[in-house]
Amino acid sequence: MSRRKIVLLGEIGVGKTSVIRRFVLDRFETTYKGTLGYNIYTSAIVGVGPNQSETLELLIWDTDGSHGDRLLAQKPVVQGTSAVLIVADLTRPRTLATMAHLARSVETGLPGRHVHLILNKSDLLEGLTTDAKTLTLPAELDGLIHPIIRTSAKSGENIQQAFRETANAILRRGL
């Protein structure tokens, strides 16, 4: 079994920790408890790779969100990183602009790494009118070629898929 490191970035309160906890522990906490610095989680993902026969152990770095670009300059955080998942909150459009900025920073600071954009909190769109559910991505996201997936850490929607797609991309690209 091989091991790879991934880092989650995004503004404070977008649900980075909740996304990780849903993936690793299949749990969702309703109380907010911010991350200080970073936490590291480990989880094995089975059935990935070209023949869906490999197991990949993921070292998942959960960052506190207060540092943004400065995290990319910190060697302990980025050294050995194979992929970066950038999380935004669908209910807070400003976080989408931050997502685009972080994606471009990763492209520059960590060239060649896999980047996956996660639009979290899709469960909060339930019950809204169709017009309110329609998400217009900010112009800052134009031109980015990274995969984008809508998730809900609360319901678990697409959480496994996001990590599975990331694991497959890491193996496919030899990262």
Q: Is the distance from CB of 69 to CB of 75 less than 8 angstroms?
A: no
CATH number of the domain to which 10 belongs: 3.40.50.300
Report the C-alpha gap between 30 and 91 in whole angstroms. 17
45: its two tokens: 């993902």
Mean pLDDT of 60-82: 78
Q: What is the mean pLDDT of residues 18-32?
A: 92
Residue 33 banded pLDDT, cuts 50, 70, 90:
confident
Q: Which two tokens stand for residue 92?
A: 């807070």
Q: How many structural domains comprise the chain? A: 1
Identify the pLDDT of residue 131.
Answer: 45
**End-to-end Cα distance, the chain:** 15
Residue 39 has pLDDT above 70, yes or no: yes
Q: Which domain holds residue 33?
A: 2-172
Distance CA 118, CA 161 (A): 11
The answer to whether 122 touches 151, Cβ cutoff 8 Å, is: yes
Position 109 scores a pLDDT of: 86
Q: What is the model's pLDDT at position 71?
A: 62
- What's the pLDDT band for 120 if we cut at 50, 70, 90? very high
